[in-house]
Structure 1
Amino acid sequence: MQGMSNWQQDVYAPELRGGFQLAYFAAAADLVREDSAGIAVTSIVSSLLGNDAGKVAAGNGEMLLPMHPLQAQALMLDPAVRALMDSGQIRYLGPAGPVFTATSSVRTVYSDDAAWMPKFSLPVRITNSKRVNRRHELEAGVAVARLFERAGIDMFEPRLGFLHDSAYLTLDFSGQAESGFEVIFRENPFRGRAGDPVITVSALTAEPRPGHSSLFETIVRRVAQDHDISVRQACRRWFECYLDCALDPLVKLYDRFGVALEAHQQNSLLDLSQQGLPSRYLYRDSQGFYLSNSFRARWYGLMPDIVQIRSLFFDD
């Protein structure tokens, strides 16, 4: 990461497991743009506040917006935001709610007390680029969540799951595609399961610290010990289980529904709760869904508006 001071990394970097509250703004409702595939966005925001829901409130004609503290600081230095704050159309309310911590993507944050994982734009560079929620990404996340529910894709394969970005909230500034207030609400199926071994493939395959074994090696050796088999046999069994949940269902997904995923290691989560063996693959990231053009007519029948989101459809 580039753009975080050392003390900020202690709080906001996933490796250091820091904790922080979200920052909240109140904004005039006519500036707000929001959509959801299910629960109302106002209910989602209220739920994120937890016990502070009664302490932080929007006034008449206002809506609340949660924000990552780093992004909140950057926004308040933006001249357009300052002008709206001076006119009273945006108010900064400060930190509130439960403690969140960064996931491996840094800008998606998790709290065991929250049913949603907000995903923010951040004013820092992560893997060489500044990460910004684009408007078309917000719309695509909601559209895909609606489509999957209506088409029965969410339930067709028990070994495959999706963390949908099924709601969003932002402010609409004249002449700007994005205002910086874009926040995506990602479903959190891990609430109350903070101790469960659900791990990104990128974490499994990461280089170990000097003098230590990799996480993957540690898990495979534990499988060998628990099942009283050789490490070689444990490697084979682990990989067979991996293919069963992380390859076969993805091929079926494309064959049956024309949906392909950008299923790289950072977007891939494995449930290892079955004695260290992969039992379920979970996919995250609304930017990585690709719908086949050959299925366009089928999806149009379920959701006519989805064909307007051009970034979703690709040649076979």
Structure 2
Amino acid sequence: MRRFTRTLIATAVTATVMAGTAGWASGTTQQAVTGAPAGTTAWRADGLPDPERMTPAQTAAFFQGLSPAGRQRLLREHPEVVGNLDGAPPALRYAANSRTAGGRFAGQQVLAYDPRGRGQAVLVYGDLAKAEHVAVIVPGSDVDAGNLAPLTRKATALREATGGRTAVVAWAGYTTPVGVGLDAASGDLAEAGAARLARFTEGLDAVGAAEPSLFCHSYGSVVCGLAAHRLKAKDLVAVASPGMRADDVAALDTSARVWAAKDPTDWIDRVPNVEFAGFGHGTDPTSPEFGARPVPAADALGHDGYFAPGTESLRAFAAIAEGEVR
């Protein structure tokens, strides 16, 4: 009976979403890719520290204790693991992923690549080690290693808007929903993504990168909301959010500044802000009662236009990323 009730609620939420969103199709159920990187069995057999038991800080210390020759040996023999270890030196990860991705991202700095499932990838624009500011874009539905263009467009636009001064990370590091369906209405994939995102920000801290500003688009804002209390971040920006699974900013339990942006023409504005029996994502982050700092977005035009060059929302995002807004 409980399963039947949950299904009815989820169907109602999904139907409401679809009724207000022309062009979106019903989604298919996804299985989240989690756990240790591919290749971990061989890594462990080589007597190396268990990736699932090391924190990013411990991973960083492990690599710092290796000689250059030792690092290169791990790169040659275990590129799948090295390329996906949060806390490992970024340059070493780039080199490892250039091997495992087989030229799939030619010329790109690939900080993570996992071919399992639909594939996950994390791309970096700029120099994480030297940049004074770092921004991370967390995407919503339909983004994966085979469909990165919507995310990379946002990342390159944000980097250009900062004059190239901010290192921008395109973080497709979790299994996203496909279309609008039960996955998009539930928090299951977001829960799995939240753990990965928290670990990722810990990894940035472990290698000495600047504390990032996170720009969380659509379902990605659900991920950020669930991860908020664990994130090492200076800003959380909910963009076109269906809710962050929190009643208000205080419930996020974060020291980061919390911002929210939504264009009135965005179909997400017609999604019901409810949460019941595990479905729906709660209070609208742009509502006064939520308490987030408002970001101007009146000219964003629809659900995917917030990072379009020339928009007031992109200018505001760049100012947030660079710490120009207090």
| TM > 0.5 | no
Give 1 or 2: higher strand fraction. 1
Larger radius of gyration: 1
Q: TM-score, normalised by structure 1?
A: 0.27
